[in-house]
Amino acid sequence: MEREGNSKQKADTIKYIIILAVITAGVLLQITTGQFPYDLIGYPVNLMIAIALIVLASAKPGKILTAAGSLPVSVFLIVLITILTIVMGLMPDNRLKGSWPFALTYFMILINLALIVGRRVRSFRLRDTGFILNHAGLFILLLSAGLGAADSQHLFMKIYEGETSSSAEDYVTGNRVGVPFKLTLEDFGIEYYAPKFFVIDTKSGIVEQLSDDFRQGLNVTCDTLTDAGYEHEAMVRVKGPGVDTSGWVSSGVNMQPGKVLQIDRDRYLSMGEPQTKSFCSSVVLINGNDSVLKNDIRVNHPMRYGSWRIYQFSYDRQMGSHSQYSVLELVRDPWIIPAYIGIFMLLAGAVSLFWKGGRL
Amino acid sequence: MIWSEFIYFAVISLFFWVSAVAAIYLSKKKTLPNIMFLTGVFVFSLFIARLWLTNGHPPLRTMGETRLWYSLFIVVIGYITWLRWNYKWLMGYSTLVSAVFIIINLLKPEIHSAGLMPALQSPWFVPHVTVYILSYAMMGAATIASIIFIAGNGEKHKDLIGLVDNLVRIGLGFLLMGMLMGALWAKEAWGDYWTWDPKEVWAFITAATYLVYIHLRRITINLKLLMWIIPVAFLLLMIAWLGVSYLPSAVNSIHTY
């Protein structure tokens, strides 16, 4: 009995030694070859690895695979990735996410998860649903977010109003890349929330903000609002007891004070900088078959086309809403569907975690 | 102005919610707190519905409007958690947080007109923040229970383990929901569901640490040593919540405000 216990203990420690050896190899590779070659795992390599992992999960495990998919190994790997991530969190850049040790830990977690899910699915009972949602969901999400993201493209398209473009600049390499559609920017615009107005009383030195509840008997209407050269300007009309005047006020820029409007002998009206409500690029997308899609691209409202999504990214900040161009970000992620499947499985798993609590 | 009517709806709702909490502690039956609570929810929802109809769009465009949803969601989720798990303190807590949001809306009425910046104008904004607030409450309670366990000794505190297990799982459920909803939102707003932004890095660390507890719990016999993970995880949670902005890695974070 004792001897069996001893050899079991030995087998226990071997698992950890193997994991640490893999990490050490990762550190050595990092020193000798630099960052993990992320582009090498793009299609079809990532798909092959994914299939290999699924085959691994469905195979009947022998001694080694049973150990690799065991709970102590899971704990060891979670601790390892946590420590690596803490290092990442303390470093001013996050180069660590592309390093060999991080990538190898990621692969070991994938293998561990695949084996765990495979084992549970083979001996499925209804009460394992939450367990499988959490573990399989995490497996699918990690697979898409790591291996799958190697196929993703991030491009930037700077496009002038009235122009049409079918190429964009790669975020990583800086190369110009063609895209399978043509985009025309019809218009770029910025909308602002109504600006805030202040009344400056030069006699008392008091500055007060006007609001719906506090108007000092004044009625301020704003006719035109422009924002050329960083500065916001508004044509306002102020009416009140003994006051009826109109003129331009502006918010000022940096150290330069804005224009104020004299209301009466002691009081002046000034304007605060209005906050941005939305950035909007009105575009027309023409695909290979000459079918035309019109869309307004705003923050939080990207345009969808196949596996592409087109985002509002930037504009000519000096010109504000008069910007002649817009910068769009074009993102293609062919693994987004499995990523969403993983996320929704995990969301369902999180609800089951809440519902079941500590009663296992 | 419909906002000038808010005080009536707010006072009535809060009256019902506070009474519901009092009834939970005083009465053995759940009927009275249920009625009180749901009446409060009805009155509060009535105001949101009125605002929605007058605006002609969902009231999610200003800070004041999002605070309205927090006030409602936090008590509703607190209520569901109470129904499921009977944690009375959580109802008290969620009512208190809700009251804070309501009072801010009442005291700073000029903020009603302040608009949300474009990135925050998303239906994910409110649920993303609300589940995190509840997660912090569950994890905070778990931390207190774990410290009592570490400080005390003997069989007397055996039931504390069950409580910690329960709170950590419920809290982790909320924490993961917050992260996943954040991921879905980020995909819509920035093009990627995960970018290792400093806030994301620390949220990952926190969740992973609670995962270590849950998994280690099933193989460790030394419970006292194991319990130390909970206060450590809570410290990491605090870094993720409040400390990230002060880290050198956070210069370009989308979460610094």
Query: Residue A73 falls within a domain, yes or no?
Result: yes
User: Same structural domain for residues A59 and A15?
Assistant: yes
CA pair distance B200, B196, nearest whole angstrom: 6
Average pLDDT over residues A236-243: 87
User: Inter-chain contact A343–B180, Cβ cutoff 8 Å?
Assistant: yes
Task: Kindly indicate the confidence band of residue B254, based on its pLDDT and cuts at 50, 70 and 90.
Answer: low
ipTM metric: 0.91
Give per-residue burial for A216-253: e unless 16+ CB within 10 Å, then b: eebebeeeebebeeebbbbebebebeeeeeeeebbbbe
User: Same structural domain for residues A128 and A181?
Assistant: no
Query: Residue A120 falls within a domain, yes or no?
Result: yes
Interface residue of A300, A347, A351 to substitute, partner B, most B CBs within 10 Å? A300
What pLDDT, on a 0 to 100 scale, did the predictor assign at position A60?
Answer: 85
- Closest Cα to residue A188, out of A287, A324, A83? A324
Question: Which amino acid, A249?
Answer: V
Query: Residue A65 falls within a domain, yes or no?
Result: yes
Choose among A82, A85, A279: nearest Cβ to B118: A279
- pTM here is 0.91
User: Same structural domain for residues A140 and A209?
Assistant: no
Query: Residue A159 falls within a domain, yes or no?
Result: yes
User: Same structural domain for residues A63 and A29?
Assistant: yes
Strand order in the sheet with A197-201: A206-209, A197-201, A267-271, A261-262
User: Inter-chain contact A346–B180, Cβ cutoff 8 Å?
Assistant: yes
- Closest Cα to residue A75, out of B252, B212, B229? B212
Q: Is residue B196 within 8 angstroms of chain A, CB to CB?
A: yes
Q: Which residues of B touch A145 (CB under 8 A)?
A: 193-194
Interface residue of B212, B245, B254 to substitute, partner A, most A CBs within 10 Å? B212
User: Same structural domain for residues A60 and A132?
Assistant: yes
Query: Residue A360 falls within a domain, yes or no?
Result: no
Burial class (CB in 10 A: 0-12, 13-18, 19+), A74: buried
Choose among B84, B118, B215: nearest Cβ to A300: B118
Quick check: B257 pLDDT over 60? Answer: no
User: Same structural domain for residues A222 and A238?
Assistant: yes
Shortest CA gap A182–chain B (Å): 20
Q: Tokens standing for B68? A: 């309205």
Count chain A–chain B contacts defined by CB atoms under 8 A: 138
Task: Kindly indicate the confidence band of residue A4, based on its pLDDT and cuts at 50, 70 and 90.
Answer: very low
User: Same structural domain for residues A341 and A240?
Assistant: no
Q: What confidence tens digit (pLDDT) does each residue in A28-87 have?
A: 999 999 999 998 999 999 999 999 999 999 988 888 899 999 999 999 999 999 999 999
Average pLDDT over residues A281-288: 92
Task: Kindly indicate the confidence band of residue B251, based on its pLDDT and cuts at 50, 70 and 90.
Answer: low
User: Same structural domain for residues A328 and A346?
Assistant: no
What pLDDT, on a 0 to 100 scale, did the predictor assign at position A228?
Answer: 65
What pLDDT, on a 0 to 100 scale, did the predictor assign at position A1?
Answer: 37
Quick check: B23 pLDDT over 50? Answer: yes
Q: Is residue B221 within 8 angstroms of chain A, CB to CB?
A: no
User: Same structural domain for residues A181 and A162?
Assistant: yes
Choose among A78, A212, A277: nearest Cβ to B208: A78
Count of the separate structural domains present in chain A? 3
User: Same structural domain for residues A143 and A216?
Assistant: no
Q: Which residues of B touch A333 (CB under 8 A)?
A: 192
Query: Residue A200 falls within a domain, yes or no?
Result: yes
Shortest CA gap A140–chain B (Å): 14
Q: Which of A57-66, A109-118, A200-209, B45-54 is the most confident on average?
A: A109-118
Better-predicted residue by pLDDT, A221 or B236:
B236
Task: Kindly indicate the confidence band of residue A7, based on its pLDDT and cuts at 50, 70 and 90.
Answer: low
User: Inter-chain contact A211–B113, Cβ cutoff 8 Å?
Assistant: yes
Q: What is the largest CA-CA distance in chain A?
A: 103
What pLDDT, on a 0 to 100 scale, did the predictor assign at position A147?
Answer: 96
User: Inter-chain contact B172–A358, Cβ cutoff 8 Å?
Assistant: no
User: Same structural domain for residues A183 and A198?
Assistant: no
Domain that holds residue A295: 153-190+277-332
Average pLDDT over residues A13-24: 94
Average pLDDT over residues B199-208: 95
State percent of chain A over pLDDT 90: 62
Query: Residue A351 falls within a domain, yes or no?
Result: yes
User: Same structural domain for residues A181 and A204?
Assistant: no
Query: Residue A220 falls within a domain, yes or no?
Result: yes
Shortest CA gap A252–chain B (Å): 20
What pLDDT, on a 0 to 100 scale, did the predictor assign at position A100?
Answer: 97
Shortest CA gap B189–chain A (Å): 4
